[in-house]
Amino acid sequence: MTPGRLSFFLLLAPLVLWLGLLIVIPHIDMALVSLRARVAPGEYTPSLQNYADFFTQPLYLVTFARTAIMSILATAITLIIGFPISYYIAKIAKGRSQASLFLMCLIPFWVSELVRTFGWIILLRETGVISGLLQWAGLADQPVEMLYNDSAMMLGLVYTSMLFMVVPLTTTLESLDDAVIEAGYDLGGNGFSVLREIVIPHAMPGIVSGCIVVFMLSLGNYLTPTMLGGKDSLWFTQLIYSQFIVRFNWELGAAFGFCLLGASSLIVWGMLRLTGQTLERTMGEGS
Amino acid sequence: MKSRFTLAATVAVLALNAPAHADTLRLLTWGGYAPDAVIDLFEAETGHTVEVTLSNNEEMVAKLRATGGGGFDLAQPSQDRIAGPQAEFGIYKPIDMSKIDTALFIPSMLEATKTNTTVDGAVYAVPDVWGTSGLIVNAAEASSVADYTDLCNADLTGKVTYRLKRPTLIGFAFSMGLDPFAAYGDIAAYQAILDQVEAKLIECKPVVKTYWSGGDELINLMRSGETVAAMAWDTGGWKLNTDNADINFVAPTSGALGWVDTFSLPAQGRADDAAYAWINFVMQPKIAAMITEEAGNFTASAGADEFVNDALKAQYQNSFPPAAVDNIRWYPPVPAEIERIEGETLDRVQAAG
C-alpha cells in the first residue's frame, strides 16, 4: 500500500465508522426487527406480517398519504414564500443590508424548535396574543381559537423549514451574473419571461435541493404536528412513535420506519425525474 | 522514594475504594417523586448520590426494554405495568423482601401490589405513590359534568379536553355501563367493549377542544378558562383548586380510576443496596409527607398523612367522600395483547375526522 492510499483510508475512516456504527448497523437491526412477528411473550417468528398490516389497514395508508400530501404542500408554500426573499437577499439587497437580512432569517434558529413552537402557541391560542389584539381592535367580539387545526400546523411547518429553503436558493441565485438578467431585458424580455427563461432555470438546482430538504424535514417532523395540530393531526411520525413507545410494538414501528424511508425516497426520486435534475448536480451546485 | 510511591499508591487505592460503599443511584421516576430536599437528606444520611431521570409509564418501559433493563437502578412504573412487560421483555429483577422494611407500608396496599406484580412466584414491586384519575370540572361553567360521558355534552363544544390514552378508554367504558377490567382475559369481549367506546369517542370528537398530552398543557387549558371540563389526575385538579376555587377534582359517579406507582428494580441495575436504602428512606412517614407535598399525591407509607399540610388534606376529603373512596376502580395488570388492540382503537379515534 502506498502512503497516499494509506492516508486516503485514514481520512475515510471516521466517515465509514460514523455511517457504519450510527446508520448502517442500526438500520440492519431495525430491518430484522421489522421482519418478525410476536407469537407469544418473548417469542418471535420471521414474518412479513408487519408490512402486510401497513398495506392492508386503511388507517395507516391514509395517515401516510395525508402526511405526504401535507408535506408536499408545506414544501410548495415554503418555496413560494422563500423564493422572493432569497431573490431580494441575493440580487437586490447590497452590502450590510444583505448580510443583516440573511442574519434575520438565521436568528430564529438560534433557539430550539420547542421554544419556537411554544411561541406560536402563545400567539395563536384562544387566550393568546393575536386573539387578544383582534378583540382589542374590535375585529372580533369573542376569543378566537386559531390553534389545533391544519392551518396552524402548516404555518408551523413552513416557519420551521424556511431557512433550509432560503440558504440554498440564495447561494444559487448569487451565482447568477447580473449581466445575464440585463441581457434578457435588452433582448426584449419582460419581468415574467426573464424570471421564467433565465432566473428559474439557473436556480433549479437550489430549488430542488431546498425542496428535498424541506420535504424531508416536514415528513419527519414530530413536534410541530403534535403541538400545533391538535386533535385531528395524526402525522405518520406520531404513528411510529406510538408503536415504539406507547404500544411496545417495535416490530410494527420498525416496519413503518422502513415504509416511510422507502416512500420518501420514491417521492424525492419522482421529484428529481419530474424536474429533470440529478442528485449529483443538485447537491454539487445547491450547497 | 519507594515509601513515597507506596504512600501514593495507598492513597490511590483508598480513593478508589471509598466510593464502593457510596453508590450512585440512577432513579427513573415521575416529576415530584424525588424532591431535591429529600435527595439532600438521603445523600447526607447514606453517602449515596442520586441521579434523577423524569419519565412516564410508557417511556419507562420503552427505555428499559431498549437497554434490556440497564441504565437505571430503580424505576417507578405503575403496578399494572410490571407483570406484562416482565413476562414479555424480562426488564425487572425480583424484589428481595427481606431488605424492605415492610413495617413502613400500609399493609393492605403492600399486599395488593405484591399480588399484582408477582410473576412466576417472585414479587417484582412494592407500592410508593398512589392516586386517581377522574374529572376536573370548573363548577361555575360546567356544573353538569359528573361522569366521563358528560364530557360529550353538546353545550360544552370546544370547552372539553382529555388525553387520548388508555385511561380514557377505560373511564368511558365504565361510564357507559361496561366493565373492561372483567374482560381483560377475553380478547373478543374486550374488543367488543372497545368498539363501543370507539364509536362514542368519535361521536364526541367535535366537542373536544384538543387531546392534551402533558400535565402543563392541561393546567394551562383549565387555568386560562379555554376548557371547563377535563379528564385528568386528581393532583392537577387540586393544584388548580389552589388558584381558582371554582375548579376542583371530581370523582366520577362511575368511579375514579386508581393507580399505584411502584418501586421496581431494573434487571441490570448496579446499585441494588442504594435502591433498597432509598425505598426504606422515602417510606419513612416524615419523608413520605414531603413527597406528598411536592407531588400532590398520597403514598403507601403508614402514618404519613399526619405530617401532610391541612390544605391538601381538605382538598382530598372534598374530592373523596368515603363512598367515592370505596368506588375507586384499581387498575389490574394489563395483558400485553390488550394494549395492542387499544392502540389500534386510539389511532382510529385520532384519525377520525
pLDDT of residue B18: 45
Residues A210 and A97 in one domain: yes
A248 to B336: CB separation less than 8 angstroms, yes or no: yes
Question: Regarding the domain with residue range B22-130+259-317, which homologous superfamily does it belong to in the CATH classification?
Answer: Periplasmic binding protein-like II (3.40.190.10)
Å between B73 CA and nearest CA of chain A? 21
Residues A117 and A236 in one domain: yes
- In whole angstroms, what is the distance from residue A34 CA to residue B208 CA? 35
ipTM at complex level: 0.78
Per-residue pLDDT of chain A (287 residues; tens, 9 = 90+): 567 788 888 888 888 888 888 889 999 999 999 998 887 777 788 989 899 989 998 889 999 999 999 999 999 999 999 999 999 999 888 888 888 988 888 888 888 888 988 899 999 988 889 989 999 998 888 888 888 888 999 999 999 899 999 999 999 999 998 888 889 889 988 888 988 888 998 999 899 999 999 999 999 999 899 888 878 778 999 889 888 888 888 889 999 999 999 988 998 898 888 887 777 776 655 44
Closest to B63 measured CA to CA, from B114, B29, B23 = B29
Query: Considering its fold, how many domains does chain A have in total?
Result: 2
Residues A32 and A99 in one domain: no
Helix (H) or strand (E) holding A38: strand A36-40
* Strand, coil or helix: B227: coil
Give the global pTM: 0.82
Residues A179 and A61 in one domain: yes
> In B90-159, which ranges are continuous DSSP H helix?
107-116, 139-142
Burial per residue of B203-233, b for 16 or more beta-carbon CB atoms within 10 angstroms, e otherwise: ebbebbbbbbeebebbbbbbbebbbbbbbbb
A157 in a domain, yes or no? yes
Q: State the burial class of residue A114 (Cβ atoms within 10 Å of its Cβ: 0-12, 13-18, 19+).
A: exposed
- Which amino acid is located at A230 in the chain? G
Domain coordinates in residue numbering, chain B: 22-130+259-317, 132-258+329-351
Residues A147 and A250 in one domain: yes
CB contacts, 8 Å: B225 with chain A: 127
C-alpha cell at B199: 364509536
A7 in a domain, yes or no? no
Q: Are B278 and B34 in contact (CB under 8 A)?
A: no
Residues A40 and A181 in one domain: no
Summarised one tens digit per residue, pLDDT across range A131-169 is 899 999 988 888 888 888 889 999 999 998 999 999 999
Residues A224 and A134 in one domain: yes
Å between B351 CA and nearest CA of chain A? 6
A5 in a domain, yes or no? no
- In whole angstroms, what is the distance from residue A251 CA to residue B252 CA? 38
A188 in a domain, yes or no? yes
Name every residue whose Cβ is closer than 8 Å to that of residue A209 and which is 6 or more positions away in sequence: A168, A282, A283, A286, A287
- In whole angstroms, what is the distance from residue B271 CA to residue B50 CA? 11
- In whole angstroms, what is the distance from residue A33 CA to residue A50 CA? 10
Residues A124 and A236 in one domain: yes
- Count chain A–chain B contacts defined by CB atoms under 8 A: 72
A3 in a domain, yes or no? no
- In whole angstroms, what is the distance from residue B346 CA to residue B170 CA? 12
- In whole angstroms, what is the distance from residue B100 CA to residue B80 CA? 21
Summarised one tens digit per residue, pLDDT across range B211-238 is 998 888 899 999 999 999 999 999 899 9
A161 in a domain, yes or no? yes
**Full domain range(s) for residue A79:** 54-286
**Which of A63, A148, A239 is the closest to B210 by Cβ?**
A148
Residues A190 and A158 in one domain: yes
CATH no., domain B132-258+329-351: 3.40.190.10
Closest to A251 measured CA to CA, from A37, A19, A21 = A37
A241 in a domain, yes or no? yes
A140 in a domain, yes or no? yes
Summarised one tens digit per residue, pLDDT across range A35-65 is 988 877 777 889 898 999 899 988 899 999 9
Residues A125 and A244 in one domain: yes
pLDDT of residue B8: 54
Positions of chain B with pLDDT lower than 70, given as ranges: 1-21, 353
Residues A144 and A282 in one domain: yes
Residues A31 and A83 in one domain: no
CATH number, position A67: 1.10.3720.10
Interface of B with A (CB under 8 A): 58-59, 61-62, 65, 85, 87-90, 158, 164-165, 205, 208-211, 213, 224-226, 336, 339-340, 343-344, 346-348, 350-351, 353
- Whose grid coordinates read 388525553? B163
Q: State the burial class of residue A131 (Cβ atoms within 10 Å of its Cβ: 0-12, 13-18, 19+).
A: buried
